[in-house]
Amino acid sequence: MVVASVDNLADERSKAQFDVGAMKIVWAGSKHVFDVTDRMARIVASDPEFRKDNRTTLGRKELFKNTLRKMAHVVKRANELRLTEEEASKLRFFVDEPGYLDLHWGMFVPAIKGQGTEEQQEKWLPLASRMEIIGCYAQTELGHGSNVQGLETTATFDPKTDEFIIHSPSLTSYKWWPGGLGKVSTHVVVYARLVSGGQEHGIYGFIVQLRSLDDHTPLPGIIIGDIGTKFGSGAYNTMDNGFVCFNRVRIPRNHMLMRFCQVTREGNVCLSDVPKQMVYGTMVYVRQTIVSDASWALSRAVCIAVRYSAIRRQFGSQDRGIETQVLDYKTQQSRLFPLLASAYAFRFVGEWLKWLYADVTERLQANDFSTLPEAHACTAGLKSLTTSVTADAIEECRKLCGGHGYLCSSGLPELFAVYVPACTYEGDNVVLLLQVARFLVKTVSRLAAGKKPVGTTTYMGNAEHLMQCKSSASSPEDWLKPSVVLEAFEARAFRLAVACARDISKFSTPEAGFAELSIDLVEAAIAHCEVIVVSRFIEKVQQDIPGDGVKEQLQILCFIYALHLIHKHSGEFLSTGCITPEQATLANEQLRTLYGQVRPNAVSLVDAFNYTDHYLGSALGRYDGNVYATLYAQALRDPLNDTVVPDGYEEFIRPVLKQTMRLSRL
């Protein structure tokens, strides 16, 4: 049985019609990134300190202490190996355990870099880089998360002492959720309402020391702790998401992050000549990183489901002969291959978004704020789209693995539990889509005023054509033409946005219209985000891509990505008149053909992710395909199997059996 499993994946690999090594480089982004990633993944996988297969069986306290040990080991190894920032960040990534280091490096340091003055950066960044302080990011409160302008915590300037007084005026103002805050961080960037001279001046970040650097006890005026156990076993419970209440805590004036707004010794508030949304910059940065992370989480789930689907056999045999691999069932393919294609799509759009972010950052440094709204809309929209799809996809992969997918040893339940809050943190996905919709409606109304749209909305400049065009697809093959596919996506997105803008104008105020039509607006926002992903994927496959057959495979995946969306949203494509029912049928026909083309390459396409068995953490997704023996070995290692007769037998099983025996004798 075991030998047959191994043979299956070897067979699968022998069928590949492309150069897997070359695809690995495309997936990584470059040979350099591949080398760094591969080396860091192997360092983690070969170090017993980073073992993670017992995580779901540990209690919260044990689990958390275990994470502290691993984080300390990460810091030690990074120092010993003299890792660069790039290498250290990959090392942390492959440790694959949410912990305070994520927030320290991922939010605290970027907040200081983005919002601190040069002097503030010179003071705080070396301390943070050497980890002489550990920081986190506290914005959300018990009563407010999405509505940042509704935050209650105050930072009141006291000109007598040249200090800010940080205060939590109510229970709902307690900071609630920040990762790393509950038990570890010594410092925090806390977001609060700036008050000076009796007047409010908006929300800004302030660096506050939370705990003593000598004995880690909370400083006076600070009540702090963990907010409690979260969803799933193991999963995000390795993180000390925390609460904190500030009781008139005093900090020096220069602990306010003053890049965009300065408070003078006299308490005068001087706003720099920049948009006030610059204070939201850390969120934009992190949203961009979350899009890249989505492709990692999605590809990991897909890798498990594809390999297992090649191993798993059900039905289809005559006379108890060899059964059919479940990967050969068209229904399995139609559920799995679009997810495989989405993983590649998100990888490429993530790379593009990184470029966009770098570009806008450069412009902002030169006081050019013109692309800020677009950067906000793109990061918000793509964060929302990719995390929602990924969370649903991980759950779909669990189902694709049948009963065994429900076991923790499949790796999928924990992956889902760790991943699903990405739909909420860094902005609830619906709230973020409404931000995109606001941007789209504005773009449409600017069009009417003769303004030319730029960036990702450039396609809207072709307004007349997009409102009237009818798809020219008259055969399944026509759906392999980039121009045909793009036109359908752009027309659907534009028509939905225009309909929203038109309908909003029928209400007494734009706000009333926006609120009433928010369901349609969210759909228009998703359609626009899908235009971005599809067009970036098409752009990618039109480039020169080295490696035998690599470009062809990516083209197949690109069209699977696009055509499965046409199928999924066929209601919208049809109701907006962008395609006809006959054309929808042709697109489906083409999709089925494409599934057949991916089938022989599926295992190799997930091998191209280059994941170690340690990172995958799955009995079902092992590289060697040795699924059943691993499932059995892991079952035997379960704490319940430590003894043959369970603890509790004497107390709770024997008396029941005795009682039943007595009753049956009556």
Ligand X SMILES: Cc1cc2nc3c(=O)[nH]c(=O)nc-3n(C[C@H](O)[C@H](O)[C@H](O)COP(=O)(O)OP(=O)(O)OC[C@H]3O[C@@H](n4cnc5c(N)ncnc54)[C@H](O)[C@@H]3O)c2cc1C
Catalytic annotation, residues = 426
Question: Distances in Å between the alpha carbon of 627 and those of 8, 305, 482, 618?
Answer: 11, 12, 40, 9
Instruction: Name the residue with tokens 């090649």.
Output: 310
Report DSSP state, residue 641. G
For residue 431, state whether it binds ligand X (rule: CB under 6 A): yes
The token pair that represents 148 in the structure block: 């940042």
Question: Distances in Å between the alpha carbon of 621 and those of 274, 311, 577?
Answer: 50, 10, 43
Stretch that binds ligand LUC3G6IP, among 45-53, 362-370, 420-428, 553-561 (CB under 6 A): 420-428
Size of the site for ligand X (CB under 6 A): 21
Instruction: Name the residue with tokens 């359609």.
Output: 527
The pair phi, psi for residue 221, each rounded to 5°, is 85, 5
Residue 179 labeled ligand binder:
yes
Residue 643 labeled ligand binder:
no
The pair phi, psi for residue 229, each rounded to 5°, is -70, 140
* Nearest distance, CB of residue 47 and ligand X, angstroms: 27
* Contact present, 404 and 308 (Cβ < 8 Å): yes
- Within a 13 Å sphere around the CA of 530, how many CA atoms are in the beta-carbon half? 30
Geometric angle at alpha carbon 237, from 232 and 238, rounded to 5°: 135
Site for ligand X in 192-251 (CB under 6 A): 236, 241
Q: Is the dihedral of CA 452, 456, 462, 466 positive or negative?
A: negative
**Judged by CB, which is closer to ligand X: 279, or 558?**
279
* Nearest distance, CB of residue 398 and ligand X, angstroms: 20
3-state secondary structure of 456: helix
* Contact present, 44 and 614 (Cβ < 8 Å): yes
Q: Which listed option, ligand LUC3G6IP, ligand X, none, makes contact with residue 182 (CB within 5 to 8 Å by class)?
A: none
For residue 204, state whether it binds ligand LUC3G6IP (rule: CB under 6 A): no
**Judged by CB, which is closer to ligand X: 83, or 103?**
103
The contacts found for 568-574 with CB under 8 angstroms, 24 or more apart, are 569/492, 569/527, 572/492, 572/496, 572/523, 572/527, 573/488, 573/492
Q: Show the site string, 134-163: x = touches ligand X by CB under 6 A, - = not.
A: ---xxxx---xxx-----------------
Name which position in 21, 29, 202, 373 contacts ligand LUC3G6IP (CB under 6 A). 373
Q: Which listed option, ligand X, ligand LUC3G6IP, none, makes contact with residue 241 (CB within 5 to 8 Å by class)?
A: ligand X
Alpha helices in 506-580 (DSSP H): 510-516, 518-541, 550-568, 570-575
**Judged by CB, which is closer to ligand X: 134, or 434?**
434
For residue 427, state whether it binds ligand LUC3G6IP (rule: CB under 6 A): yes
For residue 283, state whether it binds ligand LUC3G6IP (rule: CB under 6 A): yes
* Nearest distance, CB of residue 427 and ligand LUC3G6IP, angstroms: 3
The pair phi, psi for residue 439, each rounded to 5°, is -65, -40
Size of the site for ligand LUC3G6IP (CB under 6 A): 26
Name which position in 111, 190, 258, 286 contacts ligand LUC3G6IP (CB under 6 A). 286
Report DSSP state, residue 133. S
Q: Which listed option, ligand LUC3G6IP, ligand X, none, makes contact with residue 33 (CB within 5 to 8 Å by class)?
A: none
* Nearest distance, CB of residue 400 and ligand LUC3G6IP, angstroms: 27
Taking each helix axis from N to C end, the angle separating 518-541 and 429-448, rounded to the nearest 10 degrees, works out to 80
Q: Show the site string, 145-184: x = touches ligand LUC3G6IP by CB under 6 A, - = not.
A: -xxxx-----------------------------x-----
**Judged by CB, which is closer to ligand LUC3G6IP: 293, or 487?**
293
User: Other C-beta atoms within 10 Å of 119: how many?
Assistant: 10
Per DSSP bridges, beta strands 199-209 and 187-196 are antiparallel
Per DSSP bridges, beta strands 269-271 and 187-196 are unpaired
Mapping DSSP onto H, E and C, the string for 469-487 reads: CCCCCCCHHHHHCHHHHHH
The token pair that represents 192 in the structure block: 């609060």
**Judged by CB, which is closer to ligand LUC3G6IP: 176, or 573?**
176
Q: Is 641 exposed, middle or buried (0-12, 13-18, 19+ CB in 10 A)?
A: exposed
Stretch that binds ligand LUC3G6IP, among 168-176, 282-290, 329-337, 472-480 (CB under 6 A): 282-290
Q: Show the site string, 170-189: x = touches ligand X by CB under 6 A, - = not.
A: -------xxx----------
**Judged by CB, which is closer to ligand LUC3G6IP: 86, or 582?**
86
Please enumerate, by residue number, every residue annotated as part of a binding site for FAD.
Answer: 140, 179
Q: Which residues bind ligand X (CB under 6 A)?
A: 103, 137-140, 144-146, 177-179, 236, 241, 421, 424-425, 427-428, 430-431, 434
Report the interface residues with ligand LUC3G6IP, using CB under 6 A.
102, 106, 137, 139-140, 146-149, 179, 277, 280, 283-284, 286, 289, 372-373, 376, 425-427, 431, 435, 438, 442
